[in-house]
Amino acid sequence: MKVQLKDIAHGRCGDKSDTSNICIYARKPEYYAAMEQQLTADRVRRHFEGLVFGDVTRYELPQLDGFNFVMHHALDGGATRSLRLDTLGKCMEAALLRMEIELDT
């Protein structure tokens, strides 16, 4: 069954200059394996196509059942330079939590 990440995970985020980072944590340990398999750096980059123009790096945090994604050239120059209204750190976290993944039932 397909679910949105927001239904099985929560997140934290931040931004600095033109880099955004988003941490996604499974709400239950049993969701971690599906997230590990499907929540790849490439898939996150595709999810933000047109907004993120640099590399996306995934750091695994298995002891916390989570992942940290660092996205470069993601904020149109950063908060003081960007003309974007809603694409800085916290908004990007909400957008990522809308991604769908497949869960075994």
Domains and CATH numbers, the chain: 2-100 (3.30.70)
pLDDT reported for residue 79:
58
Measured in residues, the chain has a length of 105
pTM score of the predicted model: 0.87
* 36 pLDDT above the threshold of 90: yes
Residue 74 confidence class, pLDDT cut points 50, 70, 90: confident
> What is the share, in percent, of the chain residues with pLDDT greater than 90?
68
Neighbours of 4 (CB within 10 A): 12
In the block, residue with structure tokens 């490439």? 42
The pLDDT of 82-100, averaged and rounded, is 74
Of 29 and 83, the one with more pLDDT: 29
- pLDDT for residue 19: 87
CB 66 within 8 A of CB 5: no
| Cα 64 from chain centre | 16
d(CA 95, CA 105): 25
Q: What is the pLDDT of residue 18?
A: 82
